[in-house]
């Protein structure tokens, strides 16, 4: 009778839709590049992993496996060579049962309550570092930190579980933001956001749940597939329901208006989007940070960012002059450390210049954005820049356009576009 080999890995592979070992090898290599690992996993290696005696993977291979499958490799049929009696150390197993009660931890293994606060301190540091550290570098630390939190959760005293689960949720949310906006890996981001939602549920934190659900609306909105409009809108309805449950402050409600405006803009309803922007401005008029403070993690939104949403919507509506006025004020008010958003707004200003038939001015804005991207890579901004470049084709013979192409397709930018 033949043995099934490593059936756990094979089943996990098939569950993710990878029908062949070669397809899994390709997916693992893509994942490795996403998190900054320079490894090459072959079909032969995957075949060995799915054999009767699966070898313990190399540490970097193990990291890629855990990131792709969102579970520890001990749940993928691998037994660590250092484990006594062949029993793998217990870890969280899957999204479905990550938060199930555990009974395997002996009393001596229970962690001190201070662990939750220590873990949260690192989460807060990652939140701050996001605005200054290259995303590819930070992503690995954030993802591994979140995975560590999931391992710790069953061992933490009940009194500290809420704080730890909140920290895990925020870390997974940050991982998802990096994966979607910085690395352009929407499938990977979806997995992280699901885990963020699971952790928010464990913490019974409706506001973190709302923020996570709103971020889940971006993937269908950015997909370009009009058939996914209802999916995005459903996520936002859920996000608003959770926000009401958590008694969200006016600033968070204004952010949800802006997310919905982004969704409606991408699905072509700029009139509805501008109505939402106006409502967000009214909400800010009622906002009192002293009496109704925002969650500490809501650091990606402000009145300036609201105006940025407005500028983009005006641009999409074809109102180039108004968009230019709005975006110029946004750049004037934007804090110096907001380098990622600055590239977005410069690209939008370039698009507004194209609407007003001013290709030289558009090129000037795009070159400023490329200067920033040379120091702080942001994949979403590069997408905006390339989209504007497509609208400049009628002026290809101009020296300003040729100069822009020299910058747009230099070694640094070209390599980052393909691997970043």
pLDDT digits (tens, 9 = 90+) for 354-404: 999 999 999 999 999 999 988 888 888 888 999 999 999 999 999 999 999
pLDDT tens-digit map of 255-282: 999 999 999 999 999 999 999 999 999 9
CA distance 190 to 216: 7
CA distance 276 to 239: 15
Q: What is the mean pLDDT of residues 304-319?
A: 94
User: 397: how many CB neighbours lie within 10 A of its CB?
Assistant: 7
Among candidates 347, 334, 322, 252, which has minimal Cα distance to 292? Answer: 252
Phi, psi (rounded to 5 degrees) for 4: -80, -5
Residue 304, classed as helix, strand or coil, is: helix
Pick the more confident residue, 103 or 205: 205
Answer yes or no: is pLDDT of 141 > 90. Answer: yes
Q: What is the pLDDT of residue 89?
A: 37
CA distance 404 to 389: 9
CA distance 199 to 111: 19
Answer yes or no: is pLDDT of 102 > 70. Answer: no
Cβ-based neighbours of 66, under 8 Å, separated by 6 or more: 72, 73, 147
Q: What is the pLDDT of residue 108?
A: 35
Answer yes or no: is pLDDT of 90 > 60. Answer: no
CA distance 90 to 60: 20
pTM over 0.95: no
CA distances from 338 to 6, 301, 333, 371 (A): 47, 11, 10, 15
> Which parts of 130-185 fold into alpha helices (H)?
135-152, 158-177
103: confidence class by pLDDT, cuts 50, 70, 90: very low
101: confidence class by pLDDT, cuts 50, 70, 90: very low
Beta-strand ranges (E) seen in 69-222 are none
8 Å CB contact between 107 and 92: no
């Amino acid at each position: 009778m033949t043995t099934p080999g490593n059936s756990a890995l094979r089943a996990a592979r098939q569950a993710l839709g990878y029908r062949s070992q070669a397809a899994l090898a390709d997916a693992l290599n893509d994942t490795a590049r996403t998190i900054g690992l320079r490894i090459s996993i072959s079909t032969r290696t995957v075949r060995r992993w799915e054999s009767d005696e699966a070898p313990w993977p190399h540490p970097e291979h193990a990291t890629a496996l855990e990131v792709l499958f969102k579970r520890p490799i001990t749940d993928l049929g691998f037994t660590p060579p250092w484990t006594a009696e062949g029993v793998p150390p217990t870890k969280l197993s899957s999204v479905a049962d990550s938060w199930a009660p555990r009974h395997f931890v002996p009393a001596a293994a229970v962690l001190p309550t201070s662990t939750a606060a220590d873990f949260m301190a690192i989460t807060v540091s990652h939140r701050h570092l996001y605005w200054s550290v290259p995303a590819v570098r930070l992503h690995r630390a954030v993802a591994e930190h979140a995975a560590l939190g999931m391992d710790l959760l069953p061992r933490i005293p009940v009194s500290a579980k809420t704080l730890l689960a909140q920290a895990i949720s925020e870390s997974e949310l940050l991982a998802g933001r990096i994966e979607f906006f910085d690395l352009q890996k929407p499938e990977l981001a979806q997995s992280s956001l699901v885990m963020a939602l699971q952790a928010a549920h464990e913490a019974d934190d409706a506001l973190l749940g709302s923020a996570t659900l709103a971020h889940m609306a971006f993937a269908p909105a950015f997909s370009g597939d009009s058939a996914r409009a209802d999916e995005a809108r459903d996520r936002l309805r859920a996000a608003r329901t959770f926000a009401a449950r958590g008694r969200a402050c006016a600033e968070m409600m204004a952010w949800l208006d802006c997310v919905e405006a982004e969704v409606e803009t991408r699905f072509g309803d700029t009139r509805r989007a501008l109505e939402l922007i106006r409502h967000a401005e009214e909400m800010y008029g009622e906002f009192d940070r002293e009496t109704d403070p925002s969650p500490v993690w809501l650091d990606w939104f402000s009145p300036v960012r609201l105006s940025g949403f407005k500028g983009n919507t005006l641009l999409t509506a074809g109102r180039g002059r108004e968009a230019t006025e709005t975006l110029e004020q946004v750049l004037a008010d934007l804090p110096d450390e907001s380098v990622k958003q600055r590239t977005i707004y410069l690209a939008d200003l370039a698009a507004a210049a194209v609407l007003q038939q001013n290709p030289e001015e558009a090129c000037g804005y795009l070159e400023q954005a490329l200067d920033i991207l040379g120091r702080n890579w942001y994949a979403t901004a590069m997408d905006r820049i390339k989209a504007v470049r497509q609208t400049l084709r009628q002026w290809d013979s101009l020296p300003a356009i040729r100069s822009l192409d020299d910058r747009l397709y230099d070694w640094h930018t070209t390599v980052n576009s393909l691997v970043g």
